[in-house]
A and B are shown apart, each in its own frame.
Chain A
Amino acid sequence: MTFIKHPKDFWAGVLYTAFGVTAIVIALSYPAGTAGRMGPGYFPRALGGLLIAIGLFLSLRSLRLQGTPLAFPTFKPLLVVIASVVVFGVAAPMLGLVVATVLLVVVSSTASDEFRWKEAVISSVLLAAFTVLAFSKGLQLQLPVWPWFVR
């Protein structure tokens, strides 16, 4: 789209507008009240309107203002890092802290260009030992240490 001269501003504007619209739509079900007696819907609607205004301004201005293009060199770190966190969240309550830690560390390590299996596994085991000692024993973290089938 060549008429967008400042893609970063343009998409930031779109994002703001989308958030603003969502905020207002949801807030429509909250009583707004009056200026003197504001209901729970008053402030959110005002903010939503402001955010839409800012978003539209940014997007429109981006048709005129020159900017650098968006750069996405690689999506791997994003996907891997977020996936490893989700894996931790799913695994921790069921499989326990040790397994979840090992999974998180090994999975997230693959995001690096210099990933080495052996190194990642060793560091994950050391970190698992550390978390059990420091967090479970030391700080009484409310997470099971071992998987449900060996508890």
Chain B
Amino acid sequence: MDLLNNLLIGAQVAITFQNLLYAFLGVLLGTLIGVLPGIGPVPTIAMLLPITYALPPVSALIMLAGIYYGAQYGGSTTAILVNLPGESSSVVTCIDGYQMARKGQAGKALAVAALGSFIAGTFATMLIAAFAPPLAEVALKFGPAEYFSLMVLGLIAAVVLASGSLVKAIGMIVLGLLLGIVGTDVNSGLQRYSLGIAELSDGIGFVTVAMGLFGFAEIIVNLEQKEKREVFTKNVSGLWLKWADFKEAFPAIVRGTGIGSVLGILPGGGALLSAFASYTVEKKLAKDPSKFGKGAIQGVAGPESANNAGAQTSFIPLLTLGIPPNAVMALMVGAMTIHSIQPGPQVMTSNPKLFWGLIVSMWIGNLMLVVLNLPLIGIWVKLLQVPYRLLYPAILLFCCIGVYSIQNSVFDVFLTAIFGVLGWIFVKLECEPAPLLLGFILGPMMEENLRRAMLLSRGDPTVFVTRPISAVMLAMAVGLLLIIVAPSVRKKREEAFQEA
């Protein structure tokens, strides 16, 4: 069988001492930052990218992927024990997880979160292995017109499914696309928007943008709020599930996995939306909905499975189409380009070892997470007690060193500071930075495909609607926009995000 054969190739790559080590480092670091509130996977991956330059591409990607799903995992620990989302996607886990901890069931909540995540991760990994090849096959037939329309659809879907103001988010995409233009134009060799600054002739580094908008701005905003934490450390015992608990939680895990797997594939869906959707479903299906918000085990099992499944399957659009569905995947595109791998459908055929190695390592990483999290919970709890005032200067320092080391240039450090200020302004104006990063990454690709498509059609813009696949994708983008503008759906969407 093809699939088995491919997984075997992957296993040969993933199960080497070096790659196991990097997978382990990745999930360990991911859990660490997941546990720590106030630093997310985007700045961490940005921070660590320079370190991965020296690694072989497979090891680098395995480690970075590990950080991402490790963070989903670690975030739940903080949510349950401190009532703070260690990661944005574990906002929902706070609701019932923290209540369970208050009732002395912290161990049970942590165990069900870990188990749910593992089941979800395993299933989602198999889904990627099964669905990526046929999808990539379709994508290989795409011409520039299809690619352009696909990116339009991806970007629109990313903002429609995310929370917050739609118009503002589209504005952020366009702003990101513009920032992506900075640098030398590949066709004419002309320097665009580089303002005569030599350092800008290669464009703005995406690490710079990500670190400023996500890392620095997050720290500043965190510092504006007063610190308030209540950690449940004493009664973290009984890290195991009784059979009755398992029976109660299992259906929620299955449903959460399903919801997360589907939503994760959609651009912008990913982990956060999956968790919200799963919580809503569990509450609707529960025999006794009044238990929700007071420590219902399904309220932890469902969303935790969903966010992990969503985190995994969001690799599908990246690996098959080369289109990043969220900010973390946008960074993965950057990481792949650094190692001169053009993300897209051709990766699977031209670089099967990398592709399948990454997939197999995801499953191994998930296994490591279970082993890592439950016994090491004591260490994570200790970490939670490190005050933020000691943490953030260290984060700032590693950000600065990371940005500097990319091009050995102080200019990038200053540029990151500017993006930090910009990010702070965006937070104040409630403009989501994630769409900007997506636009920034896709900008050059989008322009290139637009140019090529128009060149091939001799300047006839109808090419985007006369080619069937392209037309369908544009129609879907328009449809999504129309749906969201419809008053009833709009209300539902707002409710869904406020439910928590």
Q: What residues of chain A have their CB less than 8 Å away from a CB belonging to chain B?
A: 8-9, 11-12, 15-16, 19, 23, 26-27, 30-31, 34-40, 42-44, 47-48, 50-51, 54-55, 57-58, 61, 70-74, 76-78, 81-82, 84-86, 88-90, 92-93, 101, 104-105, 108-109, 111-115, 119-120, 123-124, 127, 131, 135, 139, 141-143
Contacts and interface: CB of A to CB of B under 8 A. Distances in A.
Given A9-B165, A47-B174, A108 B396 contact: yes
B177 interface: yes
Contact of B223 (A71, A72, A111): A111
Contact of B413 (A19, A23, A31, A85): A85
Contacts of A71: 428
A114 to B, nearest CB: 5
Chain B contact-residue range equals: 35 or more
A8 B428 contact: yes
A92 B54 CA distance: 23
Given A81-B420, A86-B417, A131-B397, A19 B389 contact: no
9 contacts: A8-B428, A38-B451, A74-B224, A81-B223, A85-B417, A90-B410, A119-B389, A135-B401, A139-B405
B220 A85 contact: no
Chain B's interface: helix, strand, loop or mixed, by majority? helix
Contact of A85 (B400, B425, B429): B400
A93 B190 CA distance: 31
A105 B393 contact: yes
Contacts of A135: 401, 405
A93 B413 CA distance: 12
A76 B424 CA distance: 13
Contacts of A111: 223
Contacts of B450: 38, 43
Contact of A35 (B408, B413, B461): B461
A78 B220 contact: yes
A38 B454 contact: yes
7 nearest interchain CB pairs?
A36-B459, A77-B223, A89-B413, A35-B459, A112-B389, A40-B185, A54-B171
Contacts of B51: 139
Interface in B416-475: 416-417, 420-421, 424-425, 428-431, 447, 450-451, 454-455, 457-461
Contact of A88 (B185, B227, B389, B400): B400
Nearest to A74: B224
Contacts of B408: 142
